[in-house]
Structure formats: C-alpha cells, structure tokens
Amino acid sequence: MKNIAVLVSGGGTNLQALIDAANNGEIINGKIACVISSRDNVYALQRAKNADIPAEVVSRKSFSSAEQFDEALLKCIKKYNADIIVMAGFLCIVGQNIIKEYPNKIINIHPSLIPSFCGDGFYGLKVHKAALDYGVKVSGATVHFVNEITDGGTIILQKAVEIQEGDTPEILQKRIMEQAEWKLLPKAVSLVCQDKVKVIGNRTIIEE
C-alpha cells in the first residue's frame, strides 16, 4: 500500500475528489497519508479533518527563501513516509531536492490540454481566460508528472472538454473540474500506486 501526500493551497476540490475516490475503493494500492497546505486557514484543511486525515501547514510566507521552504516541505512529506506526492491545487513550485527525491512520483493536475495554456503564470482562472481569449473550441485537463519545468513533466492522462457559447472563465473552470479534473486525478493516482505508469523518454505507457 503506497502512502500518498496531497499538497494543497486552497479550497481542496481536487483533494475532495481524491478522498471520495479512496472511500469508494477507486484508488487501488494507495491511501492518503497526509495533507500538507502551503497556507493557513484554507478549506482543504477542513476537508482533511472531516476525513480524519492528518493535516499540516508548511507556510511559504514563513520562510525567507524557496530553499528553506523546500527543506521544511520535504521533511514534512518524509514524516509521513510518503511514496507518492499529489499536487492538488498547490500554488508553490517545488525545488530540485524534492523532484530528485521523488522521480516520477510527483503528480500534478493542470486545467488545460498541455502544452496549451500552461507554464509560468498559468494557474486558476488565468488558464481558462487565456483559452477563451484565444478562441479554442476545446480545453480540458492534464495529469502529469512534475519535473523542473513548470507543467513540463511527462503526461499521464488527458481529457478534452468542449467550450460552449457564453462561457466565462468561472463557468469553464467548473465544467472542466466536473468533467475532467475530478475524474482524471484519482484515476492517475490509482495507476501510479499500482506501478502501471511507465515513463519511456518523454512519453508514458499505461499498463492495463
């Protein structure tokens, strides 16, 4: 059974999707061992409490450098013997030490079809506004491994979501969450927990 550390920074809707999936037996060979937030007083911490999952805060603003923050974050992750790290709306960039410690074991969800509308500065509603401003007909979500490039890691799963007339960034965000993010993330986590995702070059192969 793999221990999963879920990193959060906000409301925790993707965390809730993972909790629900775990409770329904959809995450095979994995359990959520801890939730770690980069900010105090976010609702994701309450979601963890409601589910009886240990939760801690490693506040980014408490550290004067990214290196110090990374060191504290890694220490907290190791405290729970985490095998896999899931970034579920985590708004901090993790550093080289964590990436080297967990190669192809850090999973992130991004609300677009990478390589579109991703990278530095693309997060939250900014992603959906960019997609609408560009005029694309479909957007979606991507689950990928984390490497040293923002949103640049190997893609695990993707799902397209149609853009509809009258969409606002808020409306599109909700549809992508419901139709893609909340389905893809638990599925990808389960596959990684079962060692069914193999990375070959810049591609992944899913073993069924």
Catalytic residue positions?
Answer: 110
| Separation of first and last alpha carbons in the chain | 19
Spatial separation of the C-alpha atoms in residues 195 and 190, rounded to whole Å: 9
Phi, psi of 152 (to 5 degrees): -105, 0
